[in-house]
Amino acid sequence: MKIEGSKWLVTGGGSGMGKHFTLGLAKLGADVAFCDMSADAIAATVAAGEGLPGKVLGFTCNVANSAEVDQWVADAAAALGGADGLINNAGIIRDGLLVKKEKDSGVVSVLSDAKWQQVIDVNLSGVFYGTRAFAKHHVETKAGQEAVIVSISSISRAGNQGQSNYSAAKAGLVSMTKLWAGELARYGIRTGAIAPGFTRTPILEGMPPAMLEKVVAPVPLKRMGEPEEIFQAVKFIAECGYFTGRCIDVDGGLVL
Ligand SMILES: NC(=O)c1ccc[n+]([C@@H]2O[C@H](COP(=O)([O-])OP(=O)(O)OC[C@H]3O[C@@H](n4cnc5c(N)ncnc54)[C@H](O)[C@@H]3O)[C@@H](O)[C@H]2O)c1
């Protein structure tokens, strides 16, 4: 698919990689309708998009709510006059060990239902809702014409200690990406996932510098990735017509 002149929907476009993808696509001449939950973040991305070759439109939508996602996809596609691509990017972390015994007190705590469910709702169900709404819209309006769905996984899909919820969601979306390639090819839709390693975005801002040094140490390239390096994989999936159903690791060579 040629990016210039194409129309994209992006979730979580108010910050980090989603913001970078939104602005990166608009710089290349694509029109983008992104969603996020934070009004201030939405306004900031819209402001940053002013004057770019492509349009940047912001919407409020919680990807964990299927009715909101259906409405956003309908409204966003109507505002753009169609939709050729979707990036399922919105994601959260709520880390914790499955069980943890405190050394002094002997008290055993567990990863809570709430932390489990919040991450599954946003990072797994959100991808399902977005893809379902986008695919339905495409089949109803432009079946047979090329469309692309990119979902953001993580290196943690291999199983990262302290991330039962996040690892399960990020592995699950890669599995869906593979099966959707088979289900959706007949309608012209290709799919792809990207598994970034540690990438410089606000999601990592809560991490103390000492912890960041520790996570970067085993990375063969000895640094975090940049959002632009993840965007290069987005562009490849969009532009390569023979790519579907696979996950691209962009992680500096780190093995978990
Ligand atoms: N930064 C990393 O190191 C890294 C590594 C691997 C994968 N990822 C994944 O990349 C994606 C983007 O992460 P990021 O680092 O840019 O994070 P970020 O926190 O900077 O951005 C995430 C955006 O998603 C939005 N969002 C969260 N929940 C939402 C919801 N329910 N509905 C709509 N929007 C919602 C947030 O408001 C935020 O604007 C996520 O899926 C994340 O899991 C990040």
- Give the pLDDT band (50/70/90) at residue 45: very high
For a substitution probing ligand 1, which of 63, 68, 92 has the most ligand atoms within 8 Å of its CB? 92
Predicted model pTM? 0.98
The verdict on the CB of residue 12 being under 6 Å from ligand 1 is yes
**CA of 156, closest atom in ligand 1:** 6
The verdict on the CB of residue 125 being under 6 Å from ligand 1 is no
pLDDT number for residue 111: 98
pLDDT number for residue 86: 99
pLDDT in tens, 69-102: 999 999 999 999 999 999 999 999 999 999 999 9
Residue 126 confidence (pLDDT) above 80: yes
pLDDT number for residue 47: 98
Ligand 1: centre distance to CA 37 (Å): 11
Residues 46/21, Cβ–Cβ less than 8 Å:
no
- Look at phi and psi of residue 67 and say left if phi exceeds 0, alpha if psi is from -120 to 50, else beta: alpha
Convert the chain into a string of H (helix), E (strand) and C (coil). Answer: CCCCCCEEEEECCCCHHHHHHHHHHHHCCCEEEEEECCHHHHHHHHHHCCCCCCCEEEEECCCCCHHHHHHHHHHHHHHHCCCCEEEECCCCCCCECCEEECCCCCCEEECCHHHHHHHHHHHHHHHHHHHHHHHHHHHHHHCCCCEEEEEECCHHHHCCCCEHHHHHHHHHHHHHHHHHHHHHHHHCEEEEEEEECCECCHHHCCCCHHHHHHHHCCCCCCCCECHHHHHHHHHHHHHCCCCCCEEEEECCCCCC
CATH topology of domain 7-250: Rossmann fold (3.40.50)
pLDDT number for residue 65: 98
- Give the pLDDT band (50/70/90) at residue 220: very high
pLDDT in tens, 7-44: 999 999 999 999 999 999 999 999 999 999 999 999 99
Residue 215 confidence (pLDDT) above 90: no
What residue spans define the domains of the chain? 7-250
Ligand 1: centre distance to CA 194 (Å): 13
The verdict on the CB of residue 127 being under 6 Å from ligand 1 is no
pLDDT in tens, 96-122: 999 999 999 999 999 999 999 999 999
pLDDT number for residue 207: 77
- Give the pLDDT band (50/70/90) at residue 143: confident
pLDDT in tens, 165-201: 999 999 999 999 999 999 999 999 999 999 999 999 9
pLDDT number for residue 48: 98
Residue 127 confidence (pLDDT) above 90: yes
Instruction: Phi first, then psi: give them for residue 135, nearest 5 degrees.
Output: -65, -40
pLDDT number for residue 204: 80
**Catalytic residue ranges:** 166
**What average pLDDT does this structure show over 224-238?**
98
Ligand 1: centre distance to CA 240 (Å): 25
Residue 154 confidence (pLDDT) above 80: yes
pLDDT averaged over every residue in the chain: 97
The verdict on the CB of residue 25 being under 6 Å from ligand 1 is no
The verdict on the CB of residue 238 being under 6 Å from ligand 1 is no
The verdict on the CB of residue 158 being under 6 Å from ligand 1 is no
Which residue lies with its CA nearest to atom 8 of ligand 1?
Answer: 154
- Give the pLDDT band (50/70/90) at residue 203: confident
